[in-house]
Structure 1
Amino acid sequence: MKKRVMGNIAFAAVAGFLLAAPVTLAQDIRKETVHFKAGTSGTTIQGRIKGYESVSYLLGAKAGQVMHARLSTRHGATYFNIYGPGKGPGDEAIAVSDRSDPINTFEGVLPEDGNYTISVYMMRSAARRNEVSDYSLDISIGGKAAAAAAGNPGDATVAGADFNATGQLPCARHAGQPMGQCSFGVTRQGNGNGAITVFWPDGGSRVIFFEMNTPASFDKAQADGDAEMEVGSNADLYLVTIGNQRFEIPEAVMTGG
């Protein structure tokens, strides 16, 4: 079964998920554990790196919480990567800030409990010249899972993000690109209606609206041009195409079952 669906206008937050991070080749990795003051959910860190130095900031978080990170610097080649629990520089990152939009920012729903690492580093060309970078890193974590939802009975929401559930689903953003994994958050409004926000690995997001537990429309923007949405199905899996973008959405994401 396949059908074409036109898009609706909507707004979604910027975020990112699993992608290969650039190799920083840092020779001096300094590690610092981040603690928020009592009664707060964030902090601002002032730092400096020189040449191949990098700083790995470690902070604990729970699945379903929302992390915000923003790096401010006058140095044009200083960025950060974010790594999931048990990973660090040299591993696959969940965010690479030189590819984010806006640059050097991140907002995303965290997929699992554990200690996350934010690595601040300098690009190789600048590190080679032994340049110095002063920076300010703003970090906040909020949105604990809350009991009670307005959608299906038994749903929970992620406070601050209004998601009933979060997870990963297969996706591809560009033509010819192999399917990878994107994080998503779903909002169920009841009666089989709601919205799925898919977060692109290189920043930005796509919202797919569903009706009667079937993908029905999307957050069409000017950049989408005349793109239409095609929806196919294979058993309990929906195959969604929007221009060059592709998604595989299990029916359970919409039904909550």
Structure 2
Amino acid sequence: MNALPAIAVLCGALVLTSTPASAAGQLARHMTELSGAPQTKTMRGKLRAHDTAEYNIRLRAGQSLTVTLKTNQRSNYFNVTGPGEGDALFVGSRDGARYSAKVAQDGAYKISVYLMANAARRDERANYTLKIAVKD
């Protein structure tokens, strides 16, 4: 895969990179906290069928993470997975469109935005806004 990452900096503390979609229809976006909190970042994106957008953010134990999804598609959700975890801490299709908690351990947390299989099979699309807020 030809990787041509684009880098943007928010408030000197967050870096957002984007890689092109692979042949399998996966879309990945990565966000990493470099230093300091509080930080709030709002991303807008589009998904189609089996695309998945992934945002990674590095957090310290005790920081608060709040994630909110607004979308035009009823089958568009996000999950939050902790460092080294196989199972999601938050499953949007079960738990809703907002996650808020203090993180238990240092590390990279992954936020995956996706369409449910029913919408993906119908080749549906979603426009979404994902707001990620980190506080000490």
The TM-score, its normalising length taken from structure 2, stands at 0.75
| Residue number among 14, 30, 34 corresponding to 2:31 in the alignment | 34
The residue that corresponds to 1:240 in the other structure is none
- SS of residue paired to 2:118: helix
SS in 2 for 1:63: coil
Determine the C-alpha separation between the residues in 2 that align with 1:35 and 1:114: 10
Which residue number corresponds to residue 120 of structure 1? 113
How far the C-alpha of 1:28 sits from its partner, in A, is 3.1
Q: Which has the higher contact order (CA 8 A, sep 6+)?
A: 2
| Counterpart residue identity of residue 75, structure 1 | Q
Higher Rg = 1
| Structure 1 residues 36 and 113: alpha-carbon distance in aligned structure 2, compared to 1, 3 A threshold | closer
CA RMSD of aligned residues (A): 1.9
Structure 2 distance, partners of 1:64, 1:29, is 32
Of Structure 1 and Structure 2, which has the larger fraction of its residues in strand?
Answer: 2
Other structure's SS at 2:120 match: helix
Give the aligned partner of residue 43 of structure 1: 41
Deviations 1:222-249 (A, max 9, x none): xxxxxxxxxxxxxxxxxxxxxxxxxxxx
* Structure 2 equivalent of residue 187 of structure 1: none
Is 1:136–2:134 an aligned residue pair?
no
* TM-score, scaled relative to structure 1: 0.41
Structure 1: gaps (5+ residues): 1-26, 144-257
**2:37/2:135 contact within 8 Å kept:** no
Identity of matched residues, %: 29
SS of the residue corresponding to residue 64 of structure 1 reads coil
Equivalent AA in structure 2 for residue 97 of structure 1? G
Residue 96 of structure 1 aligns with which residue? Answer: 91
- Aligned position for 1:105: 98
- Cα deviation, residue 42, structure 1: 1.1
Q: Where do residues 1-257 of structure 1 align in structure 2 (5 Å cutoff)?
A: 27-35=24-32, 41-87=39-85, 91-100=86-95, 103-143=96-136
Tell me the distance in 2 between the aligned counterparts of 1:49 and 1:73: 11
Q: Which runs of 5+ in 2 are unaligned?
A: 1-23
CA distance in 2, matches of 1:129, 1:113: 39
